[in-house]
């Protein structure tokens, strides 16, 4: 094997490792990039940010390019190894070529996978900005090979749109929490805004029955209670609002009365009662809170047919909105 052949094999091998490092690193950086910061830079007129944002909005094109690019890198690497073995030892069979590939695989893994992934993981935005033009060039060069993959993906989405929706439902919450965390890190969200958005994500899918007080544990008075009884009851339990149940059943809660109204308004006590909106047990906490806010009520009654299951408080639901967001499977603090 002469010097030119040696240099050609070496350069071919290094080109394959470099391409593997490039596509493996950019793939890791793409999933680590700060999307809020990218959007802000793009809106400010940054061309590089606009280029990266296009790939964010068309992830199938990005994934197809990295997939084809990685396969091209692997092909160049294995071809260089096979060619080197052929030039050094002649036609010795597949066993020797496979053995040479196994011997060199740690080098390819270290410099073509592990190191670039770690670098892009630690500094995704800066490295992607540096390599955005090169990646765009490869996207255009590899478009004839990647386009069928993108087209197949879009065809599957059209045939079975529900599959994409199910994936979006499964991954959407985690992605939103990640966005909020990044937004707070970048200074786009205050702590209160972050906790409010996280609280909405936490309570939105949960049934209202998890936050209600069961009917047999609600404290209150019957609808025939006098003004003095209501005021004495409020003083004894230090409560500004008293729940009211129908006279025939101690658990048939249907209204409440504000103590301040009873103390200051001389109208008949029954006219001061505020009917609690009915909430179905299947309603989510967020739906229940919205219903209470729209009707201007601080309490709602959870009914299943004619049976009263319990009472839910708008204040309690609002407090849950400000709990810090947690990732799926993690318990809130």
Q: Is the pLDDT of residue 283 over 80?
A: yes
Whose tokens are 């680590």? That residue is 32
Question: Which of the four pLDDT bands, split at 50, 70 and 90, describes residue 190?
Answer: low
Q: What percent of the chain has pLDDT over 90?
A: 37
* Average pLDDT of span 179-189: 57
- CA distance linking residue 21 with residue 86, whole number of Å: 26
Q: Where in the chain is the domain with CATH 3.10.580.10?
A: 208-321
Q: pLDDT tens digits for 205-239?
A: 688 888 899 998 998 999 999 999 999 999 999 99
Residue 157, number of CB atoms within 10 A of its CB: 14
What does the block give as tokens for 139? 């996207």
Task: Look at 49 and 330; give whichever has higher pLDDT.
Answer: 49
- Residues contacting 27, CB < 8 A, separation 6+: 63, 66
Strands 220-222, 241-245: pairing is: parallel
Query: Quick one: fold of 208-321?
Result: CBS-domain (3.10.580)
- CA distance linking residue 108 with residue 215, whole number of Å: 67
Whole-number average pLDDT of the chain: 82
What does the block give as tokens for 84? 């080197």
Strands (E), 159-246: 213-214, 220-222, 241-245
Question: Which of the four pLDDT bands, split at 50, 70 and 90, describes residue 196?
Answer: low
The whole-model pTM stands at 0.52
Distances (CA, A) of 207 to 174, 244, 254, 287, 296: 20, 24, 20, 9, 21
- CA distance linking residue 144 with residue 170, whole number of Å: 32
**Does residue 303 contact residue 222 with C-beta atoms inside 8 Å?**
no
Q: What percent of the chain has pLDDT over 70?
A: 81
- Residues contacting 177, CB < 8 A, separation 6+: 198, 201, 325, 326, 327
- Residues contacting 174, CB < 8 A, separation 6+: 327, 328
């Amino acid at each position: 094997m002469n010097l030119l052949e040696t240099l050609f094999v070496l350069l071919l091998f290094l080109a394959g490792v470099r391409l593997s490092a490039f596509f493996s690193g950019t793939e890791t950086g793409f999933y680590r990039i700060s999307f809020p910061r990218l959007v802000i830079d793009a809106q400010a007129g940054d061309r590089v940010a606009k280029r990266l944002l296009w790939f964010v909005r068309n992830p199938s094109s990005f994934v197809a390019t990295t997939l084809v690019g990685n396969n091209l890198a692997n092909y160049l690497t294995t071809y260089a190894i096979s060619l080197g073995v052929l030039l050094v030892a002649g036609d010795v069979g597949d066993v020797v070529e496979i053995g040479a590939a196994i011997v060199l695989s740690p080098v390819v893994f270290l410099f073509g996978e592990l190191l670039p992934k770690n670098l892009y993981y630690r500094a995704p935005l800066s490295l992607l900005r540096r390599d955005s033009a090169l990646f765009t060039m490869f996207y255009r060069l590899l478009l004839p090979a990647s386009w069928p993959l993108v087209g197949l993906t879009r065809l599957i989405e059209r045939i079975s749109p529900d599959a994409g929706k199910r994936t979006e439902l499964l991954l959407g919450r985690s992605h939103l929490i990640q966005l909020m965390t990044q937004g707070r890190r970048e200074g786009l969200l205050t702590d209160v805004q972050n906790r409010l958005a996280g609280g909405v994500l936490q309570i939105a899918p949960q049934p209202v029955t998890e936050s209600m007080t069961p009917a047999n544990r609600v404290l209150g008075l019957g609808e025939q209670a006098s003004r003095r009884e209501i005021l004495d009851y409020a003083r004894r339990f230090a409560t500004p609002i008293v729940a009211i149940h129908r006279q025939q059943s101690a658990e048939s809660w249907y209204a409440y009365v504000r103590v301040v109204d009873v103390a200051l308004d001389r109208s008949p006590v029954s006219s001061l009662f505020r009917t609690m909106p009915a909430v179905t047990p299947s309603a989510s906490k967020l739906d229940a809170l919205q219903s209470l806010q729209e009707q201007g009520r601080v309490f709602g009654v959870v009914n299943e047919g004619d049976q009263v299951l319990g009472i839910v408080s708008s204040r309690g639901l609002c407090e849950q909105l400000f709990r810090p967001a947690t990732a799926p499977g993690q318990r809130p603090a």
